[in-house]
Amino acid sequence: MKALFFTREFPPYVYGGAGVHVEYLAGELSKLMEMEVRAFGDQDVKANNLSVKGFPFDNSDFDGADDKLKAVFKTLSTGLLMNANPIDADIVHCHTWYSHFAGIMAKLCYGIPLVVTTHSLEPLRPWKREQLGRGYDASSWIEKTAIEMADCLIAVSEETKVDVLNHFDVDESKIEVVYNGIDLKEYVVVEDTTVLEAYGIDKNKPYVLFVGRITRQKGIIHLVNAIKYIDKDTQVILCAGAPDTPEIGQEMKAAVDLASQTRDNIVWIDKMLDKKDVIQLYSHADVFCCPSIYEPFGIINIEAMACETAVVASAVGGIKEVVVEGETGLLIALEQQKSAPFEPVNPDQFSRDLANGINTVISDKELQRTMAKNGRKRVEDFFDWTAIAKQTETIYKSLITK
* DSSP string for residues in 173-237: GGEEE----B-TTTS------HHHHHTT--TTS-EEEEEEESSTTTTHHHHHHHGGGS-TTSEEE
pLDDT at 59: 82
What is the mean pLDDT of the segment spanning 67-83?
95
Is residue 195 pLDDT above 90, yes or no?
yes
- What gap in Å lies between CA 357 and CA 334, rounded to an integer? 13
Grade residue 180 by pLDDT with cuts at 50, 70 and 90.
very high
What pLDDT sits at residue 193? 97
Cis peptide before 113 (omega within 30 of 0): no
How many whole angstroms separate alpha carbon 144 and alpha carbon 196? 44
Task: Specify the pTM.
Answer: 0.89
pLDDT of 39 > 90? The answer is: yes
**pLDDT confidence bin for 16, thresholds 50/70/90:** confident
Q: Are strands 44-47 and 50-55 parallel, antiparallel or unpaired?
A: antiparallel
Is the per-residue pLDDT at 321 higher than 80?
Answer: yes
- C-alpha 59/C-alpha 71 separation (Å) is 10
Mean per-residue pLDDT over the chain, rounded: 95
What's the pLDDT at 342? Answer: 87
pLDDT of residue 339: 81
Q: How far is CA 230 from CA 142, 262, 265, 399, in A?
A: 42, 12, 11, 51
| Start-to-end C-alpha separation, the chain | 14
Residue pLDDT, tens place only, 241-267:
989 899 999 999 999 999 999 999 999
Reported confidence tier of residue 341, pLDDT bands at 50, 70, 90: confident
Band of residue 60 on the pLDDT scale cut at 50, 70, 90: confident
**pLDDT surpasses 80 at 303:** yes
pLDDT greater than 80 at residue 340: no
Cβ neighbours for 352, distance < 8 A, ≥ 6 positions apart:
226, 229
How far CA 357 is from CA of 219, 350, 360, in Å, comes to 16, 11, 5
According to DSSP, the β-strands at 91-95 and 2-7 are parallel
CATH of domain 2-181+384-401: 3.40.50.2000
Is the pLDDT assigned to residue 338 strictly greater than 90? no
Residue ranges of the chain that CATH labels 3.40.50.2000? 2-181+384-401, 194-382
Q: Which stretch of 13-17, 48-52, 76-80, 133-137 has the lowest confidence by average pLDDT?
A: 13-17
Q: Binning pLDDT at 50, 70 and 90, where does residue 225 land?
A: very high
Residue 120 has pLDDT above 80, yes or no: yes
**Minimum mean pLDDT range among 15-19, 239-243, 397-401:** 15-19
Distance CA 165, CA 62 (A): 36
What is the mean pLDDT of the segment spanning 151-179?
Answer: 97
pLDDT range class, residue 58, cuts 50, 70, 90: confident
**CATH class for the domain made up of 194-382:** alpha beta
